[in-house]
Amino acid sequence: MRSVLLLSILPFAQAVRIIQSNDDGWAEINLRTFFNVLTSAGHNVVLSGPAENQSGRSSLDSPPTTVDSDGCIFSSCPGGSAPTGSNATNPRLNYVNSYPVTAIKTGITTTAPKIFNNAAPEIALTGPNVGSNVGIQVPFSGTVGAAVYAAKDAKIPAIAFSGVSGDPTAWNQPTPLYSQIYADLALNVTTRILASGTPYLPSNTWLNVNFPAVTSTKCNNVNQFKFILTRINWGIFSEKDVTWCGSDRLPTEADVVGRDGCFATISVGDANDKTTADLKTQQFVLPKLQPILSCP
């Protein structure tokens, strides 16, 4: 059953142009569920994801090639298909037979302009990734790599979403509870950022968002979740963080995700090196996120 997200607690956010991608493949159910949720919320969305599972590909980038004989992931396109293509009935759903960075880059430069009447995407959303991307996992993630490309190279504010639960699942299977909850939570964060006004994020900045495990008996309703402001890396020798919850050192993602409870983490990332953004950037972003944040 579809979880209910009480968006009434959030300020109104105008519908925007969104470019969407991931590293698990364009036909993975987390990505498609989020696409459906964003579209139902009235946003103008173009999905451009890799033709096959490209997890762990970081920021690799290479021209797309003809699809292998085994076809796209979950038989979502036949073997020998063109290097790029779209769903036969929905041109907003697109595959790129290459890495996640290549997929989102192709979406931004080639596919989206055709649908957005030559206007650029206003925000990039990647994931929800199948599996978490915290701490030392972050530099290797293709879902993160795609978001960082958007923020650094395309100058588009970006958010990467990841969730602990689930395995890669085809788009045409029954929607798992975790998939729907992650999509609703991701919409919650997106709505908050959009409602905060432009610029949505500072230049070269992205958000790394991680959701905990969802089961039939635990964290099975979006209203049970609390968003915690975190940092990506330890930062033992780095400058102080923004003062929040009585401390000038934010907890790490790994520390919060490992705690008992329905805690989702949000870290402000530096797109130049995929680590935690500096104090000034955190100070800019905190007021935008503060209405949905809790203390751990």
From CA 261, how far away is CA 139, in angstroms rounded?
26
Domains of the chain: 14-294 (3.40.1210.10)
pLDDT at position 8: 37
Q: What is the pTM of this model?
A: 0.95
pLDDT at position 245: 97
pLDDT at position 2: 39
Which two tokens mark 175? 């929607």
> Which residues 6+ apart lie within 8 Å of 173 measured at CB?
29
Assess whether the previous peptide bond of 287 is cis (omega < 30° from 0): no
pLDDT at position 258: 80
pLDDT at position 13: 61
Which two tokens mark 6? 């009480």
Q: Are 150 and 116 in contact (CB under 8 A)?
A: no
Question: Residue 244: what are its φ and ψ, rounded to 5°?
Answer: -155, 135
Residues forming a β-bridge with 209: 161, 266
From CA 133, how far away is CA 161, in angstroms rounded?
8
pLDDT at position 238: 83
Which two tokens mark 47? 């999905």
Q: Are 192 and 289 in contact (CB under 8 A)?
A: yes
Instruction: Count Cβ atoms below 10 Å from residue 146 Cβ, excluding itself.
Output: 37
User: How confident is the prediction along the chain (296 residues), in pLDDT tens digits per residue?
Assistant: 333 443 433 444 689 999 999 999 999 999 999 999 999 999 999 999 999 999 999 999 999 999 999 999 999 999 999 999 999 999 999 999 999 999 999 999 999 999 999 999 999 999 999 999 999 999 999 999 999 999 999 999 999 999 999 999 999 999 999 999 999 999 999 999 999 999 999 999 999 999 999 999 999 999 999 999 999 998 888 899 999 999 999 999 999 988 889 999 999 999 999 999 999 999 999 999 999 999 98
Which two tokens mark 29? 């159910």
Which two tokens mark 76? 């979502």
Quote helix, strand, coil % in the chain, to nearest 5.
30, 20, 45
